[in-house]
Structures are given as structure tokens and as C-alpha cells.
Amino acid sequence: MTGRVDFYFDYISGYAYFAWLRLQEICERRGVELGVHPVLFAGLLDHWGQLGPAEIPPKREWVYKDAFRHAKLHGIELSCPKFHPFNPLLALRLSLREVGGVEQRRIVSTLFRAGWGQGLDLGSRDELAAALEREGLDSRALIEKASEPAAKEALRQNTERAVARGVFGVPTTFVDDELFWGSDRMDYIELALDGRDPLDHTRVREALARPRQADRRKVRSGDGG
């Protein structure tokens, strides 16, 4: 069994909320260390040249439908944030280890529940503060620390380290150095934790080595067609 799980997330993702609920239970049950890494999803999108789900109207609608189905089937409280997309920067900085210290996981749980469970505005300083206060956390001190240049730099570095590790979306979970994307791969994560990952790395390397025959043309601004 491995000794390390790392979770990369942005509050902008409802699937990160689902993954957080499951991962905590899995790691606590197994006594596995859980590293918690807030990152800026927009930064990942910019780096890899992708659009977010909310930027593609039919995908945005599908994601909401899928999320409500999942929540209903699994008994998860889901209201969705008051606004979406929203600016997640303060919430992410509040969730840094450098800001929350030993309360990091409690802060993350509080903010996920406030936004995705209770429908609060995760882009609002006042609503973030109220959510933290209701949980007995010192919102003033936390927000002051999260607003310092050091916290802003820490979030930037978190995102850069995530990119360097190959993170392209949220939520992303690593079991040691194996990447799992999304909230619907918890069974794979548990297999990996048990040392029973069925993946044949040789076959993956062989598939990746096959030559490309066609590429989608990248349309630049001003191009037609």
C-alpha cells in the first residue's frame, strides 16, 4: 500500500467537491496521508490551451445535469454556488497550507460545503468570511493572511508545480506518481492504493509511440472557416 495521495482542486469544479468527499473517507479509512493542493483552474486551461466546461454552452448544461444525477444517486447535498463561473482566488488562497496551517482540511471542507452544498457565493469575501465564522474559524485573520503577497505567490507556485507534474484539469488525484483525473475514478484510486492497478505501462508506451497521421488545425483569431 502506498503512503501518499495528492489532491489538486479548484472550487470552480463541482466534481472536485464530489472527489473531496470520497477522498477524505478513503484516506482516513486506510490511514493514508492526503496532500491538499489548491490550484487555479484557469491557469491550467491557459497553459494547455483548453476551454473550461462553462465556456461551452451545451457542455455547461450537460455538466449540471450530470452533477445533479450523481448527487441524487449518492445522497450528496448539492445546491451549486450562487454564481458560476466565479472568481475563486480568495477561496483558493484561504485553502493553502501556508494560510490555514493545521486547519487546512477543515477550511477546504467548509468552503466546499458552503458553495456546492449550500449555494453560497464563493467569490464573495463577505460570504466566505461568514462561512468560516460559522465553523468557528477566525475569518479575519485567515483573510488577512490570504491577502498577503506571500499567499498570492504560493497559489501561483502551486499551479506551476501542478502543470509541471502534468495536471491538466480538476480534480486531479495522484497516488504516488500515478495521475487520476475526475471524481469518477475512485475505484481506480483504491486499486492503486492496494498495489493492484491493472494498467499495463508497456502497452501505454507502445500506443504513445505510434506516429500521428492527422492534426486538427488551430484556428487563429481572424481566420475564417
pLDDT digits (tens, 9 = 90+) for 136-173: 999 999 999 999 999 999 999 999 999 999 999 999 99
Entry pTM: 0.94
Residue by residue, DSSP assigns 103-163 as GHHHHHHHHHIIIIIT---TT-HHHHHHHHHHTT--HHHHHHHHTSHHHHHHHHHHHHHHH
pLDDT at 225: 40
pLDDT at 217: 77
Cell of 92: 483558493
pLDDT at 220: 54
10 Å Cβ neighbour count for 167? 24
Q: What are phi and psi of 172, to 5 degrees?
A: -125, 135
What are the sequence ranges of the domains in the chain?
4-208
Domain 4-208 matching CATH 3.40.30.10: the answer reads yes
Exposed, middle or buried by CB within 10 Å (0-12, 13-18, 19+), for 84?
Answer: middle
pLDDT at 223: 44
What single letter denotes the amino acid at residue 55? E
Distance from C-alpha of 85 to C-alpha of 82, rounded to nearest angstrom: 9
8 beta partners:
37, 172
pLDDT at 219: 55
- Edge-to-edge strands, sheet with 172-175: 33-38, 4-9, 172-175, 178-181
pLDDT at 55: 95
Cell of 195: 498495489
* Residues in the chain, pLDDT under 50: 221-225
CB of 120 closer than 8 Å to CB of 114: yes
